[in-house]
Chains A and B, each alone.
Chain A
Amino acid sequence: MSDAALIRMSGITKTYGSGNVAFQALRGIDLAIEAGDFVAIMGPSGSGKSTVMNILGCLDTPTSGSYEFEGIRVEQLTRNGRALLRRNYLGFVFQGFNLLARTTALENVELPLIYRGQPTAHRHAAARAALRQVGLEDWEHHTPGELSGGQQQRVAIARAIVTRPHVLLADEPTGNLDTRSSQDIMDLIQTLNHELGITVLMVTHEPDMAEYARRVIRFVDGRVESDRRNDGEGV
Protein backbone atom coordinates (compact mmCIF):
# COMPACT_ATOMS: atom_id res chain seq x y z
CA MET A 1 0.00 0.00 0.00
CA SER A 2 1.47 3.27 -1.07
CA ASP A 3 1.07 6.75 0.29
CA ALA A 4 -1.22 7.49 -2.60
CA ALA A 5 -4.02 5.46 -1.02
CA LEU A 6 -7.44 6.85 -1.85
CA ILE A 7 -8.74 6.17 1.62
CA ARG A 8 -6.73 5.93 4.80
CA MET A 9 -8.27 5.25 8.17
CA SER A 10 -6.28 4.93 11.34
CA GLY A 11 -7.43 4.20 14.84
CA ILE A 12 -11.09 4.77 14.02
CA THR A 13 -13.45 4.03 16.90
CA LYS A 14 -17.16 4.52 17.20
CA THR A 15 -19.07 4.41 20.44
CA TYR A 16 -22.87 4.51 20.46
CA GLY A 17 -24.55 5.98 23.51
CA SER A 18 -22.74 7.00 26.69
CA GLY A 19 -22.32 5.92 30.30
CA ASN A 20 -23.82 2.54 31.16
CA VAL A 21 -25.38 1.98 27.78
CA ALA A 22 -22.29 2.96 25.82
CA PHE A 23 -21.43 0.41 23.16
CA GLN A 24 -18.21 0.39 21.22
CA ALA A 25 -19.09 -0.70 17.69
CA LEU A 26 -15.63 -0.02 16.23
CA ARG A 27 -12.54 -0.66 18.31
CA GLY A 28 -9.72 0.88 16.33
CA ILE A 29 -9.81 0.35 12.58
CA ASP A 30 -6.75 0.85 10.40
CA LEU A 31 -7.48 0.65 6.74
CA ALA A 32 -6.00 1.79 3.46
CA ILE A 33 -7.83 1.42 0.17
CA GLU A 34 -6.36 2.16 -3.21
CA ALA A 35 -8.08 3.79 -6.12
CA GLY A 36 -9.77 1.36 -8.51
CA ASP A 37 -9.97 -1.48 -6.01
CA PHE A 38 -13.04 -3.62 -5.40
CA VAL A 39 -13.28 -4.38 -1.69
CA ALA A 40 -15.80 -6.60 0.03
CA ILE A 41 -16.36 -6.17 3.75
CA MET A 42 -17.65 -9.29 5.44
CA GLY A 43 -18.31 -10.42 8.95
CA PRO A 44 -21.04 -11.52 11.30
CA SER A 45 -24.04 -9.38 12.00
CA GLY A 46 -23.27 -6.63 14.47
CA SER A 47 -19.57 -6.66 13.80
CA GLY A 48 -19.54 -2.99 12.71
CA LYS A 49 -19.61 -3.34 8.92
CA SER A 50 -22.36 -0.78 8.41
CA THR A 51 -20.87 1.52 10.99
CA VAL A 52 -17.55 1.65 9.17
CA MET A 53 -19.28 2.08 5.80
CA ASN A 54 -21.26 5.04 7.11
CA ILE A 55 -18.10 6.65 8.39
CA LEU A 56 -16.31 5.94 5.09
CA GLY A 57 -19.27 7.52 3.27
CA CYS A 58 -19.26 10.58 5.56
CA LEU A 59 -22.82 9.82 6.59
CA ASP A 60 -21.66 9.50 10.18
CA THR A 61 -18.68 10.68 12.19
CA PRO A 62 -16.27 8.51 14.18
CA THR A 63 -15.77 8.94 17.90
CA SER A 64 -12.01 9.08 17.47
CA GLY A 65 -9.32 8.32 14.94
CA SER A 66 -8.40 9.91 11.68
CA TYR A 67 -9.84 9.47 8.23
CA GLU A 68 -8.24 10.82 5.09
CA PHE A 69 -10.07 10.82 1.79
CA GLU A 70 -7.93 11.76 -1.21
CA GLY A 71 -5.68 13.60 1.20
CA ILE A 72 -8.54 15.49 2.80
CA ARG A 73 -8.73 15.24 6.60
CA VAL A 74 -12.39 14.37 6.88
CA GLU A 75 -12.62 14.85 10.64
CA GLN A 76 -11.63 18.48 10.15
CA LEU A 77 -14.49 19.16 7.72
CA THR A 78 -17.69 20.91 8.69
CA ARG A 79 -21.12 19.40 8.08
CA ASN A 80 -21.29 21.25 4.78
CA GLY A 81 -17.78 20.13 3.89
CA ARG A 82 -18.77 16.51 4.36
CA ALA A 83 -21.93 17.09 2.32
CA LEU A 84 -19.84 18.48 -0.52
CA LEU A 85 -17.51 15.51 -0.30
CA ARG A 86 -20.51 13.17 -0.65
CA ARG A 87 -21.84 15.29 -3.47
CA ASN A 88 -18.62 15.37 -5.46
CA TYR A 89 -16.82 12.12 -4.80
CA LEU A 90 -19.13 9.51 -3.27
CA GLY A 91 -22.01 7.39 -4.47
CA PHE A 92 -24.14 5.37 -2.08
CA VAL A 93 -26.19 2.22 -2.54
CA PHE A 94 -28.23 0.94 0.39
CA GLN A 95 -29.75 -2.38 1.22
CA GLY A 96 -33.21 -0.71 1.35
CA PHE A 97 -32.69 1.23 -1.93
CA ASN A 98 -33.72 4.58 -0.34
CA LEU A 99 -35.31 6.01 -3.44
CA LEU A 100 -37.73 8.94 -3.16
CA ALA A 101 -41.26 7.52 -3.13
CA ARG A 102 -43.75 8.46 -5.86
CA THR A 103 -40.86 9.88 -7.85
CA THR A 104 -39.95 8.59 -11.29
CA ALA A 105 -36.73 6.72 -11.92
CA LEU A 106 -35.49 9.63 -14.02
CA GLU A 107 -36.17 12.20 -11.32
CA ASN A 108 -34.53 10.02 -8.70
CA VAL A 109 -31.41 9.67 -10.81
CA GLU A 110 -31.39 13.39 -11.62
CA LEU A 111 -31.50 14.41 -7.99
CA PRO A 112 -27.73 14.49 -7.27
CA LEU A 113 -27.23 16.56 -10.43
CA ILE A 114 -29.79 19.12 -9.28
CA TYR A 115 -27.77 19.61 -6.11
CA ARG A 116 -24.72 20.00 -8.30
CA GLY A 117 -26.54 22.81 -10.07
CA GLN A 118 -26.32 21.30 -13.53
CA PRO A 119 -28.47 22.68 -16.33
CA THR A 120 -31.64 20.79 -17.23
CA ALA A 121 -30.53 19.50 -20.61
CA HIS A 122 -27.30 18.06 -19.30
CA ARG A 123 -29.08 16.65 -16.29
CA HIS A 124 -31.59 14.76 -18.40
CA ALA A 125 -28.94 13.43 -20.75
CA ALA A 126 -26.72 12.25 -17.91
CA ALA A 127 -29.63 10.66 -16.01
CA ARG A 128 -30.80 8.82 -19.14
CA ALA A 129 -27.26 7.63 -19.80
CA ALA A 130 -26.98 6.32 -16.25
CA LEU A 131 -30.32 4.51 -16.58
CA ARG A 132 -29.14 3.00 -19.84
CA GLN A 133 -26.00 1.84 -18.11
CA VAL A 134 -28.05 -0.09 -15.56
CA GLY A 135 -30.37 -1.39 -18.28
CA LEU A 136 -33.44 0.62 -17.35
CA GLU A 137 -33.73 2.97 -20.30
CA ASP A 138 -37.36 1.90 -20.82
CA TRP A 139 -38.34 2.48 -17.20
CA GLU A 140 -37.46 6.09 -16.68
CA HIS A 141 -41.04 7.22 -16.00
CA HIS A 142 -41.81 4.47 -13.50
CA THR A 143 -41.92 5.19 -9.81
CA PRO A 144 -40.26 2.86 -7.26
CA GLY A 145 -43.67 1.35 -6.46
CA GLU A 146 -43.92 0.18 -10.06
CA LEU A 147 -40.50 -1.45 -10.12
CA SER A 148 -39.22 -4.78 -8.79
CA GLY A 149 -36.61 -4.87 -6.05
CA GLY A 150 -33.82 -5.56 -8.51
CA GLN A 151 -34.96 -2.71 -10.71
CA GLN A 152 -35.17 -0.35 -7.76
CA GLN A 153 -31.65 -1.24 -6.76
CA ARG A 154 -30.52 -0.57 -10.31
CA VAL A 155 -32.16 2.87 -10.16
CA ALA A 156 -30.31 3.44 -6.91
CA ILE A 157 -27.04 2.45 -8.59
CA ALA A 158 -27.78 4.75 -11.50
CA ARG A 159 -28.35 7.56 -9.00
CA ALA A 160 -25.07 6.73 -7.28
CA ILE A 161 -23.00 6.72 -10.49
CA VAL A 162 -24.66 9.56 -12.38
CA THR A 163 -22.20 11.99 -10.81
CA ARG A 164 -19.21 9.86 -11.79
CA PRO A 165 -18.13 9.35 -8.17
CA HIS A 166 -14.64 8.24 -7.26
CA VAL A 167 -16.00 5.71 -4.79
CA LEU A 168 -19.15 3.63 -4.78
CA LEU A 169 -20.19 2.50 -1.33
CA ALA A 170 -22.72 -0.31 -1.18
CA ASP A 171 -24.06 -1.67 2.11
CA GLU A 172 -25.52 -5.11 1.43
CA PRO A 173 -26.82 -4.01 -1.97
CA THR A 174 -28.20 -7.48 -2.66
CA GLY A 175 -29.52 -8.14 0.83
CA ASN A 176 -33.14 -7.65 -0.20
CA LEU A 177 -32.90 -9.33 -3.58
CA ASP A 178 -33.35 -12.85 -4.93
CA THR A 179 -30.35 -14.79 -6.32
CA ARG A 180 -31.05 -13.88 -9.91
CA SER A 181 -31.32 -10.13 -9.32
CA SER A 182 -28.36 -10.31 -6.95
CA GLN A 183 -26.14 -11.67 -9.67
CA ASP A 184 -27.34 -9.00 -12.10
CA ILE A 185 -26.55 -6.30 -9.59
CA MET A 186 -23.12 -7.77 -8.84
CA ASP A 187 -22.33 -8.03 -12.56
CA LEU A 188 -23.33 -4.41 -12.91
CA ILE A 189 -21.17 -3.28 -10.00
CA GLN A 190 -18.25 -5.26 -11.33
CA THR A 191 -18.66 -3.67 -14.74
CA LEU A 192 -18.65 -0.22 -13.18
CA ASN A 193 -15.46 -1.10 -11.36
CA HIS A 194 -13.75 -2.56 -14.40
CA GLU A 195 -14.90 -0.19 -17.07
CA LEU A 196 -15.27 3.13 -15.28
CA GLY A 197 -12.56 2.52 -12.73
CA ILE A 198 -14.87 3.40 -9.85
CA THR A 199 -13.50 2.21 -6.53
CA VAL A 200 -16.08 -0.08 -4.94
CA LEU A 201 -16.52 -0.75 -1.24
CA MET A 202 -19.23 -3.29 -0.59
CA VAL A 203 -20.60 -4.92 2.53
CA THR A 204 -21.99 -8.38 2.11
CA HIS A 205 -22.33 -11.51 4.17
CA GLU A 206 -22.79 -13.81 1.21
CA PRO A 207 -19.51 -15.47 0.12
CA ASP A 208 -20.91 -15.71 -3.44
CA MET A 209 -21.08 -11.94 -3.64
CA ALA A 210 -17.67 -11.49 -2.05
CA GLU A 211 -16.29 -13.60 -4.92
CA TYR A 212 -16.72 -10.60 -7.17
CA ALA A 213 -14.35 -8.50 -5.09
CA ARG A 214 -10.57 -8.39 -5.40
CA ARG A 215 -10.00 -7.85 -1.73
CA VAL A 216 -12.01 -9.18 1.20
CA ILE A 217 -11.83 -7.64 4.67
CA ARG A 218 -13.42 -9.55 7.56
CA PHE A 219 -14.78 -7.72 10.57
CA VAL A 220 -15.33 -9.31 13.95
CA ASP A 221 -16.44 -7.36 17.03
CA GLY A 222 -15.52 -4.01 15.66
CA ARG A 223 -12.04 -5.05 14.54
CA VAL A 224 -10.48 -6.14 11.28
CA GLU A 225 -9.98 -9.87 11.66
CA SER A 226 -8.52 -10.70 8.26
CA ASP A 227 -7.67 -8.89 5.05
CA ARG A 228 -6.89 -10.91 1.96
CA ARG A 229 -6.79 -10.68 -1.81
CA ASN A 230 -8.96 -13.02 -3.87
CA ASP A 231 -6.94 -15.59 -5.79
CA GLY A 232 -6.31 -14.83 -9.38
CA GLU A 233 -7.61 -11.30 -8.97
CA GLY A 234 -4.78 -10.09 -6.81
CA VAL A 235 -2.70 -7.09 -7.60
Chain B
Amino acid sequence: MARAIAGDTAAFERLYRAHVPRILALTRRMAGADRADDLTQDVFVRAWQKLALFRGESSLATWLHRMAVNVVIEQFRTLGTARERFLPEGDDVLTRVAAPTVSERGWHAAMDLHVAVNRLPPGARAVFVLHDVEGYKHEEIGTLLGVSVGTSKSQLHRARMSLRGHLTATEAAS
Protein backbone atom coordinates (compact mmCIF):
# COMPACT_ATOMS: atom_id res chain seq x y z
CA MET B 1 0.00 0.00 0.00
CA ALA B 2 2.69 2.49 1.01
CA ARG B 3 4.61 1.47 -2.06
CA ALA B 4 1.64 1.93 -4.34
CA ILE B 5 1.16 5.40 -2.87
CA ALA B 6 4.82 6.17 -3.45
CA GLY B 7 4.43 5.29 -7.12
CA ASP B 8 5.22 1.60 -7.33
CA THR B 9 3.01 0.27 -10.12
CA ALA B 10 3.92 -3.35 -9.37
CA ALA B 11 2.57 -2.91 -5.84
CA PHE B 12 -0.52 -1.29 -7.31
CA GLU B 13 -1.00 -4.20 -9.68
CA ARG B 14 -1.07 -6.58 -6.71
CA LEU B 15 -3.71 -4.41 -5.14
CA TYR B 16 -5.62 -4.46 -8.42
CA ARG B 17 -5.47 -8.28 -8.64
CA ALA B 18 -6.86 -8.61 -5.14
CA HIS B 19 -9.81 -6.30 -5.69
CA VAL B 20 -10.73 -6.37 -9.36
CA PRO B 21 -13.12 -9.39 -9.23
CA ARG B 22 -15.41 -7.56 -6.82
CA ILE B 23 -15.18 -4.25 -8.62
CA LEU B 24 -15.81 -5.79 -12.00
CA ALA B 25 -18.84 -7.63 -10.62
CA LEU B 26 -20.14 -4.33 -9.24
CA THR B 27 -19.66 -2.36 -12.45
CA ARG B 28 -21.37 -5.15 -14.39
CA ARG B 29 -24.32 -5.10 -12.06
CA MET B 30 -24.61 -1.35 -12.20
CA ALA B 31 -23.79 -0.64 -15.81
CA GLY B 32 -23.90 -3.90 -17.74
CA ALA B 33 -21.18 -6.05 -19.27
CA ASP B 34 -20.72 -3.71 -22.24
CA ARG B 35 -19.42 -0.84 -20.18
CA ALA B 36 -18.10 -2.67 -17.13
CA ASP B 37 -14.54 -3.17 -18.39
CA ASP B 38 -14.03 0.49 -19.28
CA LEU B 39 -15.57 1.66 -16.04
CA THR B 40 -13.44 -0.75 -14.02
CA GLN B 41 -10.35 0.65 -15.69
CA ASP B 42 -11.53 4.15 -14.81
CA VAL B 43 -12.03 3.06 -11.20
CA PHE B 44 -8.49 1.78 -10.82
CA VAL B 45 -6.93 4.74 -12.58
CA ARG B 46 -8.79 7.01 -10.20
CA ALA B 47 -7.79 4.84 -7.24
CA TRP B 48 -4.17 5.24 -8.32
CA GLN B 49 -4.57 8.99 -8.48
CA LYS B 50 -6.26 9.24 -5.09
CA LEU B 51 -4.54 6.47 -3.17
CA ALA B 52 -2.75 8.96 -0.93
CA LEU B 53 -6.16 10.18 0.24
CA PHE B 54 -7.14 6.75 1.56
CA ARG B 55 -7.18 7.21 5.33
CA GLY B 56 -7.81 3.68 6.48
CA GLU B 57 -11.12 4.70 8.07
CA SER B 58 -12.79 2.01 6.02
CA SER B 59 -11.28 -1.05 4.45
CA LEU B 60 -9.63 -0.58 1.11
CA ALA B 61 -12.35 -2.81 -0.36
CA THR B 62 -15.03 -0.45 0.90
CA TRP B 63 -13.12 2.59 -0.32
CA LEU B 64 -12.78 1.09 -3.79
CA HIS B 65 -16.42 0.05 -3.78
CA ARG B 66 -17.53 3.62 -3.06
CA MET B 67 -15.22 4.91 -5.72
CA ALA B 68 -16.65 2.46 -8.25
CA VAL B 69 -20.20 3.50 -7.42
CA ASN B 70 -19.24 7.13 -7.98
CA VAL B 71 -17.50 6.42 -11.26
CA VAL B 72 -20.55 4.54 -12.55
CA ILE B 73 -22.96 7.24 -11.41
CA GLU B 74 -20.92 10.04 -12.96
CA GLN B 75 -21.10 8.15 -16.19
CA PHE B 76 -24.88 7.79 -15.87
CA ARG B 77 -25.22 11.53 -15.93
CA THR B 78 -23.96 11.51 -19.48
CA LEU B 79 -26.65 9.05 -20.55
CA GLY B 80 -29.72 10.86 -21.72
CA THR B 81 -32.02 13.11 -19.74
CA ALA B 82 -33.18 12.55 -16.18
CA ARG B 83 -36.52 11.49 -17.58
CA GLU B 84 -34.82 8.81 -19.65
CA ARG B 85 -32.75 7.59 -16.73
CA PHE B 86 -35.68 6.64 -14.53
CA LEU B 87 -38.81 4.59 -14.84
CA PRO B 88 -41.81 6.78 -15.61
CA GLU B 89 -44.28 7.47 -12.85
CA GLY B 90 -47.68 6.02 -13.60
CA ASP B 91 -46.39 3.17 -15.72
CA ASP B 92 -48.77 0.28 -15.88
CA VAL B 93 -46.12 -2.00 -14.44
CA LEU B 94 -47.62 -1.30 -11.05
CA THR B 95 -51.15 -2.11 -11.98
CA ARG B 96 -50.58 -5.61 -13.28
CA VAL B 97 -51.45 -8.44 -10.99
CA ALA B 98 -49.81 -11.61 -12.17
CA ALA B 99 -51.44 -14.96 -12.59
CA PRO B 100 -51.17 -17.08 -9.48
CA THR B 101 -48.83 -19.59 -11.07
CA VAL B 102 -45.85 -17.26 -11.24
CA SER B 103 -44.34 -17.62 -7.82
CA GLU B 104 -43.86 -21.32 -8.21
CA ARG B 105 -41.11 -21.17 -10.77
CA GLY B 106 -38.65 -19.61 -8.33
CA TRP B 107 -35.92 -17.25 -9.35
CA HIS B 108 -32.98 -18.62 -11.15
CA ALA B 109 -29.51 -17.71 -11.20
CA ALA B 110 -28.02 -14.30 -11.25
CA MET B 111 -27.95 -14.77 -15.02
CA ASP B 112 -31.67 -14.11 -15.30
CA LEU B 113 -31.48 -11.17 -13.00
CA HIS B 114 -28.60 -9.74 -14.98
CA VAL B 115 -30.56 -9.92 -18.21
CA ALA B 116 -33.64 -8.39 -16.62
CA VAL B 117 -31.69 -5.62 -14.91
CA ASN B 118 -30.12 -4.75 -18.24
CA ARG B 119 -33.50 -3.61 -19.45
CA LEU B 120 -33.95 -1.02 -16.73
CA PRO B 121 -33.07 2.60 -17.43
CA PRO B 122 -29.75 3.43 -15.75
CA GLY B 123 -31.10 5.48 -12.86
CA ALA B 124 -33.70 2.91 -11.86
CA ARG B 125 -31.07 0.24 -12.25
CA ALA B 126 -28.71 2.12 -9.96
CA VAL B 127 -31.39 2.48 -7.31
CA PHE B 128 -32.21 -1.21 -7.44
CA VAL B 129 -28.61 -2.42 -7.40
CA LEU B 130 -27.53 0.00 -4.70
CA HIS B 131 -30.46 -0.79 -2.43
CA ASP B 132 -31.23 -4.45 -2.96
CA VAL B 133 -27.78 -5.74 -3.84
CA GLU B 134 -25.27 -3.39 -2.22
CA GLY B 135 -27.35 -2.54 0.83
CA TYR B 136 -27.37 1.28 0.56
CA LYS B 137 -30.06 3.32 2.32
CA HIS B 138 -32.46 5.51 0.38
CA GLU B 139 -30.91 8.60 1.92
CA GLU B 140 -27.48 7.67 0.58
CA ILE B 141 -28.87 6.74 -2.82
CA GLY B 142 -30.75 10.00 -3.03
CA THR B 143 -27.57 11.92 -2.32
CA LEU B 144 -25.52 9.93 -4.81
CA LEU B 145 -28.04 10.24 -7.61
CA GLY B 146 -29.24 13.73 -6.80
CA VAL B 147 -32.86 12.69 -6.24
CA SER B 148 -35.19 12.82 -3.25
CA VAL B 149 -35.65 9.94 -0.85
CA GLY B 150 -39.21 9.65 -2.14
CA THR B 151 -37.97 9.28 -5.70
CA SER B 152 -35.45 6.67 -4.63
CA LYS B 153 -38.18 4.66 -2.92
CA SER B 154 -40.58 4.96 -5.77
CA GLN B 155 -37.91 4.05 -8.35
CA LEU B 156 -36.96 1.02 -6.27
CA HIS B 157 -40.53 -0.16 -6.22
CA ARG B 158 -40.93 0.44 -9.93
CA ALA B 159 -37.68 -1.34 -10.66
CA ARG B 160 -38.71 -4.34 -8.59
CA MET B 161 -42.11 -4.57 -10.22
CA SER B 162 -40.56 -4.14 -13.62
CA LEU B 163 -37.97 -6.85 -12.95
CA ARG B 164 -40.70 -9.12 -11.78
CA GLY B 165 -42.51 -8.44 -15.04
CA HIS B 166 -39.41 -9.18 -17.13
CA LEU B 167 -38.63 -12.34 -15.26
CA THR B 168 -42.14 -13.67 -15.41
CA ALA B 169 -42.25 -12.88 -19.13
CA THR B 170 -38.96 -14.76 -19.61
CA GLU B 171 -40.43 -17.64 -17.69
CA ALA B 172 -43.55 -17.69 -19.79
CA ALA B 173 -41.54 -17.67 -23.00
CA SER B 174 -39.34 -20.60 -22.07
B and A form one assembly: no
Which B residues fall within an 8 A CB radius of A?
A: none
